[in-house]
A and B are shown apart, each in its own frame.
Chain A
Amino acid sequence: MLMLGLVMTGSLYAAFAPAQAESAESDTELIAEGRELFLISCVFCHGQNGEGVLTEGGTQYGPSLAGVGAAAADFQLGTGRMPLVQPGAQGAAKAPVFNEDEIAALSAYVGSLGPGPAIPDEGDYSIESLDDEEREEAISRGGQIFLTNCTACHNFSGNGGAMPRGGQAPSILNTSPEHIYEAMLTGPGNMDVFSNGNLTPEEKRDVIAYIETMRDQPEYGGFGLGGLGPVSEGLFGWLVGIGGLVGFAIWIAAHSTRTTKAPMKGTDA
C-alpha cells in the first residue's frame, strides 16, 4: 500500500512537473556529479546509496532518501538545514553549505533514488501570468488557506511558533517562494505534508502569493514589534508607555536647581 501510494504520487508529480523531463542526457551527468558529492558529504548519515543508517538502538540516524524527491533535497540543502550541525537536533535554517550548482546536482541524485516530488519551477509558484483581477482573487484565497493551514504553527505574520517538547515551527519570513513550495510538498522535519492531493498546486501558488504580498505590504501602523502579538505589545506598553510616563513623572516632581542667593527686596520673584 505504501509503495503503491508512493508510485502513485510520483506519477502525479510527473504529470504536474513537466520541467522534470527536460533533457535526459544532462540529467544523467548531473546525477553522476551529485553522487560524487553525496559520497563525500552525506553517506555518513544517509548511507552509501541513500538507504538510511540505523543506530544500534534501531532508531534512524539518517533517514532513507529513496522517494523523498528532489524537492526535499533542494529544500533541505537550499535552506542550509542539511548538513545538520549535530545529529538529532531540529534542523535550523542557515547559510547553505553547497553552492547552487552543487545543490542542483545533489538534488538530482536524490531525486533519482526513487519517485518523489520534483523541484518546482517558477511557473508553479508565480502569479505573474494572471491578470490583475485574478491575482487579487488568488491572493485573498491564498490568505484564507494560509490562515487555515499555516498560521496555527507559523503565526499570523509567518514568524513561527512553539511546538511540543522544545520544537519550533520556524519563521518563514525570509524563506524563498521555491523553498516554501518545497516545504509544503515534502513536509520537512515535523511539518505536515501538503501534497498536491491535499493542497492543489494552484492553492500552494496562492498561499505563496499571499505570503509575498504580506512581505511587500507596508507596516501600516508603525513598527511591527516582532509580529508576536499581544505578548510583545504588552512588553512595549510597560517598557515604553509606563517606563516613559514614570520618567516624566520623576522629572515633573524633581526639585529644580536652587541658588544660595535670594531675590533683592522689592523685586517680583
Chain B
Amino acid sequence: MSDNHDHLPATTQEEPIANPGLPPHTWRPTDVDERLAKRAERQVAGLFGLSSICVILFLVSYFTLKVGDNHTTFAGFGASTIALGSTLGAALLLIGIGIIQWARKLMGDHEIVEMRHPARSSDEDRQGTLDALALGLEESGIGRRPLVRNSLLGSVALLGLPAIVMLRDLGPLPGDKLYHTVWKPRMRVVRDVVGTPINIADLEIGDLVNAEPEIIFAVDEDGEHVLRGAELQTAKSKAAVILLRMDPQDLTPGKGRDNWAVDGIVCYSKICTHVGCPISLNERKTHHLLCPCHQSTFDLADSGKVVFGPAARALPQLPLMVDDEGFLMAQDDFNEPVGPSFWERG
C-alpha cells in the first residue's frame, strides 16, 4: 500500500493521519464468475427487450385509443394520455435502467486517477499575453491618437440610443387611460355572462350579483357586439363590479356617499386594489370581501375599506341610482382609478 503513496502530493491537511492511498480494487461477483456475468447480460438484454415491447404497446395505444369527440376512457381516466404516458415512460425507464445495470455489473469499474492543473496560466503565458496585448495596442496607435479613440467611443455609445428608442412603439403612452372606465352616467348595471338588467325588486337581502356595465353586452344595429376582442377585455378588466344587497341598517355610507346606495344595494369595483385580481368571495353575514389571490379583505358595508391583508386602498365604489322601471344604473363613472396603484396616481 505504501508504494503508491509516493505519487500523492503532500498537502497541509495530510496530518494528523497520513493519506493511506487508494484502497486496492475489489471485484464484483460478475467479474469473477462468468455465469453471473452471463446472467447480468441476459438481464440487461431483457430490460431492453421489455422496452421494445412497451414501444409496441405505445404504438398500439396511439392508433387504437381515440381522442376528440369519442374520447376513449378507462376507469374514469382519459385512456389515451394514460396509456401513451405509461408505455412511453416505461420504455424510457427500462432503457435507462438497462444501461445503468450494464454499467454497474458488466463495464470495467476500475477507478482511475487524473491529476488536476491549476486554472491559473503560467507566468510565461501571462507575460506573453501582456506583451502581445501591448504590442497590438501600440500598433493600433490607440494611445497616441486620442481623437480617433474618443470619437469612436462616442459614436459607438450613441448607437445605444437607436436600440432603446426603437422599443418606443411597443405600446402607447398611458395618458389618462387608467383614470377612466367605460361606465358613463345613467349606464345600466347588468348581470355578468347573461347581460340582463337588474331590477331592484328582484334582489333579496344577501344577494350578490357579479355585474358589468351594459355596454359590455351591447350590440349595434347589425347585431355585432360594440366591444370585441382586446377592447372588450380591457373594458371588462376595469369596469367589472359586484353588487350586494344588505340590510340598510348594516350600511355605513362614506362621507359624501349618502346617495350612492339604493335600498341597501351597494356597488363596488370587482378589481382588487392590490394587484388587480377580480374579487367576489363575500361573507354574507359580515359583508367582508376576500381576494383569493393575496387575501386582502374589504368591508363592503363601510365604503369598501381594507380590513385585512396587503391591499392599501379601499375598493372604489360605483354610485348607483334607479331608473323609472326600477332598473339599477350608475350615477357616474368611478371617481378614482380602479385596480392596482401606480406611480402617477397621486
Complex CA distance for A245 and B205, rounded to whole angstroms: 56
Q: What's the interface size class on B, roughly? A: 35 or more
Tell me how far the C-beta of B278 lies from the nearest C-beta in chain A, rounded to whole angstroms.
8
| Chain B positions within 8 Å of A219 at CB level | 76-78
Q: Is the CB of A187 within 8 A of B193?
A: no
Q: Is A148 an interface residue (CB 8 A)?
A: yes
Q: Tell which of A1, A259, A262 touches B263, judged by Cβ atoms closer than 8 Å.
A: A1
A residues in contact with B194, CB < 8 Å: 141, 145, 203
Which residue of chain B lies nearest to A155 when distances are taken between CB atoms in the complex? B292
Which residues of B are found within 8 Å of A9, using beta-carbon distances? 204
Nearest Cβ on chain B to A115's Cβ, whole angstroms: 12
Instruction: Judge if A39 is at the interface, Cβ distance under 8 Å.
Output: no
Would B29 and A259 count as touching, CB distance under 8 A?
Answer: yes
Within the complex, the shortest CB–CB distance from A138 to chain B, in Å, comes to 12
Q: Does A48 contact B (CB under 8 A)?
A: no
A259 to B30, CA, bound (A): 9
Asked whether, in the complex, the Cβ of A144 is within 8 Å of the Cβ of B279, the reply is no
| Cross-chain contact of A187 among B78, B85, B192, B206 (Cβ < 8 A) | B206
- Shortest distance between the CB of B86 and any CB in chain A (Å): 9
Q: Say which one of B137-145, B153-161, B195-203, B316-324 lies at the interface with A.
A: B195-203
With a cutoff of 8 Å between Cβ atoms, the chain A residues found around residue B286 in the complex are: 164, 190
Residues of A with C-beta under 8 A to B76? 218-219
> Taking the complex as formed, is A161 at the interface, i.e. its CB lies under 8 A from any CB of chain B?
yes
A76 to chain B, nearest CB (A): 15
Question: Which one, B207, B248, B278, B297, contacts A164 given CB within 8 A?
Answer: B297
Q: Is the CB of B204 within 8 A of A193?
A: yes
Q: Are A190 and B283 in contact (CB under 8 A)?
A: yes
Chain B, residue nearest A220 (CB): B78
B contacts with A: majority SS: mixed
**Cβ B105 vs Cβ A195 within 8 A:** no
Contact B203 A197 (CB under 8 A): yes
Q: Which residue from chain B places its CB closest to the CB of A261 in the assembled complex? A: B32
User: Is B77 touching A262 in the complex (CB atoms < 8 A)?
Assistant: no
A42 at interface (Cβ–Cβ under 8 A)? no
Is B2 on the interface with A (CB-CB < 8 A)? no
When the two chains form the complex, which single residue of A8, A169, A222, A263 contacts B281, counting CB atoms closer than 8 Å? A169
Chain B 200-231 interface residues, beta-carbon cutoff 8 Å to A: 201-210
The verdict on A92 contacting chain B, using a C-beta distance below 8 Å, is: no
Q: How far is the CA of A263 from the CA of B247 in the complex (A)?
A: 92
A251–B105 Cα distance when bound, in Å, is 13
A152 touches B104 (CB 8 A): no
A26 to B55 CA separation, bound complex (whole angstroms): 68
Contact B290 A193 (CB under 8 A): no
**Hey, which chain B residues are within 8 Å of A98, CB to CB?**
none
Among B28, B191, B199, B206, which residue has its beta carbon within 8 angstroms of that of A256?
B28
Q: Is A17 an interface position by the 8 A CB rule?
A: no
Cβ of B51 < 8 Å from any Cβ of A? no
Residue among A1, A187, A251, A269 with max Cβ neighbours from chain B (10 Å): A269
> Do the beta carbons of A269 and B108 come within 8 Å of each other?
yes
Instruction: Write out the residue numbers on chain A whose beta carbons fall within 8 Å of the beta carbon of B248.
Output: 1
Q: Does A235 contact B (CB under 8 A)?
A: no
Let me know if A213 is at the binding interface, CB within 8 A: no
**Interface membership of A194, Cβ < 8 A:** yes
Assembled-state Cα–Cα distance A205/B37 (Å): 69
Inter-chain contacts of A145 with B (CB < 8 A): 193-194
Complex CA gap A138/B276 in Å reads 30
Contact of B280 among A149, A191, A203, A264 (CB under 8 A): A149
Q: Known contacts A141-B193, A153-B292, A169-B281; can you find 10 more A-B pairs with CB under 8 A?
A: A5-B204, A9-B204, A152-B292, A187-B206, A192-B207, A192-B208, A193-B206, A195-B204, A252-B104, A257-B29
13 A-B contacts (beta carbon < 8 Å): A161-B281, A161-B292, A167-B283, A190-B284, A193-B284, A197-B203, A197-B207, A221-B78, A222-B77, A222-B81, A252-B104, A256-B28, A264-B32
